[in-house]
Structure 1
């Protein structure tokens, strides 16, 4: 066994195959997963494995530049919103609000992997956009750092708390 690493071989492989801008969906137990999706089912009983546990684990394993979720999370489930903010504080990720329909109809079919939790937590469906380590790229002299990397580095350095501020992908 590998200490402090993902034990689920299919999940470890799927994450290792992701690249910059790939989408990783993390869903509740009832999310309608597309039939052709690369589905990794971690739900084994109502409430287990919880979507927040999965997101916490992913936070340690992958770089994420964007977390998209239904805007209702902020207004209809403030505890879930607060938990998501805590998980992604200092990650450099930005929050993008969208509709549940957009998650189902557009983002899930584009996802490289869909991880289903056993969570019965309302509104608990998230599209994570994979990224790269913003401090590992653009390290050579005489190379201009892209503005997006400058901004992500700043959000990480300043331990910024992400906030949902706009609708995307409607």
Structure 2
């Protein structure tokens, strides 16, 4: 056991978060996302909500403060300006938890999939709410 590390972060996921460098990305994905097909490394957290995983990850990983969009969500198909309730929650978590809070950026569905292919890892959650997918870019911890 370790202190101050959220219990939902598995040993393998913690390894990936620690191994990631500045500018690497990680995807937190819902249960419908094609994570296994797209991932270089796929971590499964079945039964856990994407919002809980996002909060846990942001407690141990800094967001990149050198880019305009360190957090990206998927646009709603056929309604790119729509904001699903889970995306509102994602923004609240980033605002309240991230060391460098940022506004969420957006990507069209297939552009999101393409970006996910190059992610360091994808975390497949048990999230059942639609559009419960977010890409995070890792920042640095100042000395």
* 2:42 is the counterpart of 1:39: yes
Is the Cα–Cα contact under 8 Å of residues 24 and 112 in structure 1 kept in the other structure? yes
**3-state SS in 1 of match to 2:104:** strand
Taking the aligned partners of 1:2 and 1:74, their CA distance within structure 2 comes to: 42
Taking the aligned partners of 2:44 and 2:124, their CA distance within structure 1 comes to: 5
Q: Residue 99 of structure 1 aligns with which residue? A: 108
* 2:17 is the counterpart of 1:22: no
Please provide the CA RMSD for this pair: 1.9
Taking the aligned partners of 2:109 and 2:130, their CA distance within structure 1 comes to: 11
Which runs of structure 2 are paired with 1:16-165 in the superposition (5 Å)?
A: 16-33=18-35, 34=37, 37-43=40-46, 48-65=47-64, 66-72=70-76, 75-77=82-84, 79-89=85-95, 91=98, 92=100, 93-104=102-113, 106-133=114-141, 136=142
Distance 1:6 1:81, change over 3 A: closer
* 2:3 is the counterpart of 1:3: yes
- 1:116 is displaced (CA, Å) by 0.4
Higher Rg: 1
1:26-52 Cα deviation digits (max 9, x unpaired):
000110123552000111xxxx20000
TM-score by length of 2: 0.81
